[in-house]
Amino acid sequence: MESLQYLAQGLSVALEPLNIMFAFFGCLAGTLVGVLPGIGPISGVALLIPVAAMATSSLPMEQAATASIILLAGVYYGAMYGGSTTAILINTPGENSSVCTTLDGYQMAKQGRAGAALAICAIGSFVAGIIACVGLIFLAVPLAEFALKFSPAGQFSLMILGLCALSSLAGKSVIKAFIMTTFGLILSTVGVDPISGVARMTFNYSELYGGIEFLTLAVGMFALGEVFKTILTNDYIEGEAIKVGSIMPTKKDLKDSAMPILRGSLLGFFQGLIPGCGATLSSFMVYTFEKKISKNKANFGKGAIEGVAAPEAGNNGASGGAMIPLLTLGIPGTGTTAVLMGALVMFNITPGPLLFQDHPQVAWGLIASMLVGNFMLLVLNLPLVKVFAKVIETPPKYLIPGIVAISVFGVYAVQGSVFNLFLMIVSGVAAYYLAKNDYPIAPVVLSLILGPMIENNLRRAMNLYNGDYTMFVKDPISLVFLIIAFLWVAVPQIMKLRGKTVVVEEG
Amino acid sequence: MIKTFDRYASVAFFVIGVAVFMYIRSIEISTAGSSIGPKELPTFLSVILIILSAANLFVSIKNQKPAKQEKLEYKKFLIVLVSLVLYAVLIEPLGYVISTFLFLMVGFQTMEKGEYLKSALIAAAFAGGIYYLYVEVALGVLPPLPF
């Protein structure tokens, strides 16, 4: 019941006119990000951080943080809605987690049922979003309270677990993923050490004293990296969008998709809780699961409505579920939540168990705004789907240079230095070549954010235990985390060695 | 053609690991009073990076796979990259509006030739619009016009 009280408070925050406006703008921008080719949820969120910072610059810190995070979260789950539109209408997923939707969605569109497919997508996404919100409301406080009991050793090991979880599923080669994780951690140690005041690896660049800026790296690696890839591979979306037609699903459509949506939402939500299992992975798993238990397996891939409903519910459930470890434990499980965490840290708000005590306004305002945002998306998406279908036709000629210019504006406006622009360009080029050769990018950004916290907890723990490293295995909670972390890395490797295929999260 | 990127990348990460290790060792600071100072974690990480990149080098030499043949648009990419670097260099001397306009014009025309007037209008609207919104409305700071 306590949770409902908090939720009521959160709703009063989320329903402030300014925050409603931000949620609306975030959802709209997110849907566009989802629809537009060449820009995914991660780069969308990264690009909108400066916009959010700019729009809230005159507000007090906590209010600014609440409004900004409401906007950015809106972009995140809005993109999940938008990505399915392109998947259905032109057989090209707007972002990775809609890959499964193309399988049956495009077939439905070819049969003249595009409108029904889009409507089921929107309904599935909505149900999943709401279920994830309810889960968040009831799980957040107990989890945060439990996490408060962790010793510094436990917190340290929990972060190691988060890093291992993301890295072990982040790419085809676990060695490459860990190289990227370690490299990111090393990057996070650049700058003046806050405890001893020693400058580490700053090479007398004053811009580096504060450390490598997360925003610069995120925009460079995700937004520019993606743009470079699009230019180099000439990977533009072509082909006419199929006409939408009536968006009213038939009674049979609704009946056929009700259970798949429910199953997909729940499955997706629980997968989202697990760090490293992002929306892409869970939409695949949900689709496979639905196909396995379905009575008309033969229909899958030929325009089965279940094949559209389930993965869309799955990816939205997962993206909502992924907010739980982020908010309660301070462990972002996916690339996009890592960027959201970076944004919170920029506003001097550290996600984690203390968030619900220290900044209830931010935490509950965000949760309540997700409820509001999901309603908005449903209302926004069904009638406007034809408008969004037009957006797909934005010519890449103007879109691609535009994204680059927005990246430059974002980084320059927030950091105010040409040095950061060069850092952004270098990391963009590096990200393109690394990602192309299966070196995953998300672990670098995640490590850059978690790095300072890991070092802090390590030092606090070592001072507490007089430099006794064995405390990490003597503390029971810490030991459990370390064992899980080890298994997380080892089990997929053993499965690979035994010839099983391991699905990995990309992007 | 053999896929060589993995080897170059492994060597690069190996060198970074060694460089960080040596650099951190050269920092002089007394860690009296606390059991762990600013040097321990970076040192540990650099050793891990060295080990991992050595392992990656070993794996990449062991399974040599032929690289996928791809037709890549290097010309377009290089033009965009060079104009982006020039954009960063010129943003302060020329001001935000002019440098952004120039970059967008070059970018639009590189992507696809033609529609000069439309390109110029879009580029001008973007550069002017952002500058107006950010500097006049939101009171942020961007490099002003040089005159």
Provide φ and ψ at A200, rounded to 5°.
Answer: -110, 125
Say how far apart CA A119 and CA A246 lie, in whole Å: 9
- CB-based contact A196 B24, cutoff 8 Å: no
Q: b/e for A110-135, b at 16 or more Cβ within 10 A?
A: eeebbbbbbbbbbbbbbbbbbbbbbb
Q: In chain A, positions 448-487, which contact chain B (CB-CB < 8 Å)?
A: 454-455, 458-459, 462-463, 466-467
- CB-based contact B29 A198, cutoff 8 Å: yes
CA angle A492, A494, A497 (to 5 degrees): 110
Using an 8 Å CB-CB cutoff, list chain B residues near A178. Answer: 48, 52
ipTM at complex level: 0.92
Say how far apart CA B97 and CA A458 lie, in whole Å: 47
Contact B127, B96 (CB under 8 A): yes
Q: Which two tokens stand for residue B5?
A: 């990127």
Cα separations in angstroms, A384 against A32, A376, A387, A416: 11, 12, 5, 38
Torsion angle of C-alpha atoms A89, A93, A97, A100, degrees rounded to 10: 60
Q: Does B99 touch chain A (CB under 8 A)?
A: no
- CB-based contact A195 B48, cutoff 8 Å: no
**pLDDT (tens digit per residue) in B107-147:** 999 988 888 999 999 999 999 999 998 888 877 888 888 87
Residue written as tokens 């009521």? A8
Question: How many Cβ atoms from other residues are within 10 Å of residue A464's Cβ?
Answer: 14
| Dmax (CA) of chain A | 70
- CB-based contact A198 B27, cutoff 8 Å: yes
Say how far apart CA A208 and CA A420 lie, in whole Å: 10
Contact A71, A26 (CB under 8 A): yes
Using an 8 Å CB-CB cutoff, list chain B residues near A402. Answer: 104, 126
Q: Does B53 touch chain A (CB under 8 A)?
A: yes
Q: What is the per-residue pLDDT for A236?
A: 67
Q: What is the per-residue pLDDT for B18?
A: 95
Contact A404, A224 (CB under 8 A): yes
- Closest-CA distance, B60 to chain A, in angstroms, reads 11
Q: What is the per-residue pLDDT for A57?
A: 78
Q: What is the per-residue pLDDT for B127?
A: 94
Secondary element (H or E) of residue A191: strand A191-192
- CB-based contact B73 A437, cutoff 8 Å: no
Assign residue A105 a region: left if phi > 0, alpha if psi is -120 to 50, beta otherwise?
alpha
Instruction: Spell out, as residue ranges, where chain B has pLDDT lower than 50.
Output: 1
- Closest-CA distance, A296 to chain B, in angstroms, reads 39
Question: Out of B6, B20, B38, whose CB is closest to A437?
Answer: B6
Q: Which of B18, B41, B83, B115 is best to mutate for the A interface (most A CBs within 10 A)?
A: B41
Q: Which of A173, A181, A409, A422 is best to mutate for the B interface (most B CBs within 10 A)?
A: A409
User: How many alpha carbons fall within 13 Å on the CB side of residue A79?
Assistant: 30
Question: How many Cβ atoms from other residues are within 10 Å of residue A203's Cβ?
Answer: 8
Torsion angle of C-alpha atoms B22, B28, B29, B30, degrees rounded to 10: 100
Using an 8 Å CB-CB cutoff, list chain B residues near A189. Answer: 41-42, 45
- CB-based contact B111 A434, cutoff 8 Å: no
- CB-based contact B59 A173, cutoff 8 Å: yes
Q: Does A398 touch chain B (CB under 8 A)?
A: yes
- Closest-CA distance, A416 to chain B, in angstroms, reads 8
Q: What is the pTM of this model?
A: 0.88
Cα separations in angstroms, A273 against A266, A279, A333, A369, A388: 11, 11, 8, 20, 31
- Closest-CA distance, B39 to chain A, in angstroms, reads 9
Q: Does A194 touch chain B (CB under 8 A)?
A: no
| Dmax (CA) of chain B | 69
- Tens digits of pLDDT across chain A (507 residues): 677 888 888 899 889 899 999 999 999 999 888 888 777 888 889 889 888 888 887 888 888 889 999 999 999 888 888 888 888 888 877 777 888 888 888 888 888 888 888 888 889 999 999 999 999 888 888 888 888 888 888 888 998 988 888 787 677 788 999 999 999 999 999 998 877 888 888 888 888 888 898 889 999 999 999 899 889 887 765 656 777 777 778 888 888 888 999 999 999 999 888 877 778 888 888 888 888 888 878 888 888 888 889 999 998 899 889 899 999 988 887 888 888 998 888 888 888 888 988 888 889 989 988 888 888 888 887 778 778 877 877 888 888 999 999 999 989 988 888 999 999 999 999 999 999 888 988 889 889 988 988 888 888 888 888 878 888 888 899 999 999 999 988 888 888 888 776 666 554
Q: Does B59 touch chain A (CB under 8 A)?
A: yes
Q: What is the per-residue pLDDT for A332?
A: 85
Question: Out of A234, A409, A425, whose CB is closest to B85?
Answer: A425
Q: Does A228 touch chain B (CB under 8 A)?
A: yes
Q: Does A497 touch chain B (CB under 8 A)?
A: no
Q: Does B48 touch chain A (CB under 8 A)?
A: yes
Nearest chain B residue to A184, by CA = B45
- Closest-CA distance, B108 to chain A, in angstroms, reads 5
Q: In chain B, positions 109-128, which contact chain A (CB-CB < 8 Å)?
A: 110-112, 115, 119, 122, 126-127
Q: What is the DSSP string of B13-36?
A: HHHHHHHHHHHHHH-----TTSSS
